[in-house]
Structure 1
Amino acid sequence: MTRHAASSVCAAGFVAAALFIAHGEARAVQDCEINGVAVNPANGATTAGKSGLVRCRDRDTRELMREQQIQSGTFQGIVRDYDKGKLSKEYSVNAAGNMQGPAREFAPSGKVVREANYDDGHEIGLVRSFYPSGPLRRVTYFADAAGERAFAEFTERGQLSALRCGDKPVLAPTTDDAKLCGFGGGPSRVALFDGKGILRSRLSYLAGKRMRSEDFYDNGKPAAQDELAGNQRIERRFSSEGVKRREVVSLLTERGAIRMLDQEFSERGTLVRDQRWSAAGDPITDESFYLNGRPRSKAVYGMDGGSRRIEITEYYDNGQRAAVGRYVATDRFRQTPIGTHQRFDEKGALIAESVYDENGRITRERAWDANGKLERDEQVFEDGSRKEFTSQ
């Protein structure tokens, strides 16, 4: 039974139960009576002014299907639903038709599979559900109509499988969340398991706040880690072989989390990209690497007046510079080249040079041969035409 669908179950529930046809499917015909007198819950004239317990049975099998208390013609008080003659639900409704007070659901064996308390249709306090075999399945705490505040889930073996802590212990006596959620003065250590008894997560809480979590693959290798260290949050992701593939460090502020470091790693665990930001969230550097560990590219960010300037250096896999140039970040996705841009051969010798003005327009190009001899020096005009450069 969902949280809000449990309300308005008085006469309307009886009407639905007494219908012969619903959504194109035939339902069992019910005969209802109160104190031995036949009534039709869908017809208020037959129940007007009556008090007692209305009982409805299947006309063919005579199995009891529903019982509901009526007071002076108003369905109010205890309600019992039956499935094949066995009690399946028991609860009470108030004069408005909303669930009020204790409520229970039962398995065909008669074991309780759910216990809750309601206040005018809203779950309140501890709500417990059980496996049909008997063990506790889930315990949830509802403080008010706003929703659940804390919960714990268990496997049929009795092992903890999920946990959400509140700002104070609220799950006792069913579950010792004071210990699980670290309200005893030090951080807790919590292990979560799946239905097969395999370890899935390790958690640590302090005063209800999750400080660290670690998830595992089926083979027991770590899949993800998430931890708080002072005012920083550190997130790590791993391959199924246990190799770290990514690490993100964020600064936690009153306005939210600001990413400060984002690293990516290859399948072998070597660093392939390293991005860094300032505490204000502005980019500082963006580096990439070859699988041999040498640099592939490096972008260095800075401010010049009101513009963000970027200097980008590219490398060959032998470590020599391949190119260098400066850019202005005109928006988030566009970079305009400015100043002198140079390209080098694998031995580090200069082989080409391009000069851009502040609008990103190329104005001069030069090229050198393998021996360092100048081969070309051209002035470039707005229409793309060129001529040999001569000093003014």
Structure 2
Amino acid sequence: MRTGLAVLVLVPLLCAAAHAQQDCELNGRDVNPANGATTAGKTGLLRCKDRASGETLREEQVQNGVSMGLVRSYDKGRLSKEYSVNAKGNIQGRAREFSPTGRVLREAVYDDGQERGLVRSFYPDGKLRRAIFYPDTGSGSERASVEFTERGQLSALRCADAPTLAPVADDAKLCGFTGVGPSQVDLFDAGGNLRSRLSYVSGKRMRSQSFYDNGKTAVLDETVGNQRTEQNYSSEGVKRRETVYLLAERASVRVREQAFSEKGTLVRDQRWNSTGEPIGDDSYFLNGQPSSKSVYSGNGDARTVEVTEFYDSGERAAQGRYQVLSRGRQIPLGTHQRFSEKGALLAESTFDAKGRVTRERAWDDNGELQRDDEVFEDGSRKAFSR
């Protein structure tokens, strides 16, 4: 039975042939590949040609009625693909693709349909375009890769846990396996412009920096110890966001995120503990004064957050406590208060354990009580009596 990988390679050949009227022969006798009876039990070279032009479309070896061995595909009479299949119909051994001028565009080695070792692709002029290393065992997922522009400059790099890309690329040096400290790798676009700068130690990326068209930093990502920091900048060079992650063996946890205005002033500061639970969330006005502060405490169902809001003068405007439920939902608890900019108490609301308001009071600027209502579940109210 053919694997999916083999089918992907063979189907284009059969489709191309199907769109053209073709004549096929095996050992000098006419056959119809779509009719297995015409090739059953036969061995030899199957050759198909375009009926109108006489150009060869494909050639493949047949053994005892089964396609097995060398397969060649042609485009306008020129060899475009060449590979071999085994008894199961899977690609085995070397496979190559060619340009109309005969240059190799891709070269790979397969083991029962799985790519192994270095797989290389080339530009039409013969320069290396990309190289990917696939391990000798397993499903064949790539371990390391490198890409080049037509100018021959490095444009992409992926490191493995050991050097594997030689001789097409010195990933021992590029990926920091030489033991002389972190590597520095510059990546370029097709126009020759610097797009990113990477640093590796023993195959692990420790730092990456990407650039805008004007050469200013767009993103800076750096790992020190068990902490990774990502910074995002505007095209004017102003830091707009900074996120800090705590690295574990198989995951990373966001522990802090700061947002900045267009001028670079801090507008929000969020913090989480090592398990990903929020512990603080502060926001700021553009004049630098606090806008709100949230402080989390407790665990599980008992987890709460104390929220304080401020005027842009820095004076407290309101405060209250909330129970933190799943998915960040919050319900108000206890007594919530609102103040004037001069610090006088203006309003007070009391909530029950289900977050329902049960009492509301209001004062004027002189501290005189204006309203004291008991509030019921249906929203109705009456003057509170002791």
Common fold by TM > 0.5: yes
The equivalent residue for 1:171 is 165
RMSD: 2.6
2:381 to 365, 379, 385: 385
2:57 corresponds to which residue? Answer: 65
Which residue identity does 1:259 align to in structure 2?
R
- The yes-or-no answer on 1:120 pairing with 2:115 is no
Question: In the TM superposition, what is the alpha-carbon distance from 1:53 to its structure 2 partner?
Answer: 2.4
- CA change 1:42–1:278 in 2 (3 A) is closer
Q: Say whether 1:275 aligns with 2:267.
A: no
Aligned twin of 1:314: 309
Q: CA deviation at 1:271?
A: 0.8
CA contact (8 A) 2:344 2:367 kept: no
- 1:93 corresponds to: 85
CA–CA distance in structure 2, aligned partners of residues 362 and 73 of structure 1: 84
Match of 1:153 in 2: 147
Judge conservation of contact 2:86–2:92 (CA < 8 Å) in 1.
yes
Q: Distance in 1 between matches of 2:9 and 2:39?
A: 17
Q: Give the corresponding residue for 1:108.
A: 100
Identity %: 61
Partner of 2:323: 328
Q: Give the corresponding residue for 2:251.
A: 256
Q: State the aligned residue count.
A: 379
Aligned residue for 1:6?
6
Residues 177 and 203 in structure 2, CA contact (< 8 A), matched pair in contact too: yes
CA–CA separation in structure 1 for the residues paired with 2:315 and 2:150 = 61
* Contact 1:18/1:41 (8 A) holds in 2: no
Specify which of 278, 283, 289 is matched with residue 288 of structure 1: 283
Whether the aligned pair in 1 keeps the contact of 2:364 and 2:370 (CA below 8 Å) is no
| Deviations 1:75-96 (CA, angstroms, capped at 9, x unpaired) | 2211111111111111111122
Query: Does the Cα contact within 8 Å between 1:14 and 1:41 map onto a contact in 2?
Result: no
Give the conservation status (yes or no) of the 8 Å contact 1:18–1:42.
Answer: no
2:115–2:140 CA contact under 8 A, matched in 1: no
Cross-structure match for 1:54 = 46
Q: Deviations over 1:46-65 (max 9, x none)?
A: 43444332322222222222
How has the CA–CA distance of structure 1 residues 175 and 327 changed in structure 2, closer, same or farther, with 3 Å as cutoff?
same
CA distance in structure 1 between the partners assigned to 2:309 and 2:240 by the alignment: 23
Is the 8 Å Cα contact of residues 301 and 324 (structure 2) preserved in structure 1? no
Secondary structure (helix, strand or coil) at the match of 1:148 reads coil
Any idea what SS the aligned residue of 1:178 has?
A: helix
- Aligned equivalents of 1:339, 1:264: Cα separation in 2: 31
Shift in alpha-carbon separation, 1:121–1:332, aligned structure 2, 3 A: closer
Alignment of 1:32 with 2:24, yes or no, is: yes
| Pairwise CA distance, 1:16 | 5.6
Gaps of 5+ in 1: 20-26
Q: For residues 12-59 of structure 1, what are the alpha-carbon distances to aligned partners after superposition, in whole Å with 9 as ceiling and x for unaligned?
A: 88876664xxxxxxx332233344443333344443444332322222
> How far, CA to CA, are the matches of 1:101 and 1:152 in structure 2?
23
User: Quick one: distance in 1 between partners of 2:96 and 2:134?
Assistant: 16
Aligned-pair distance for 1:282? 2.6
TM-score, normalising length: structure 2: 0.89
> 1:255: how far off?
5.8
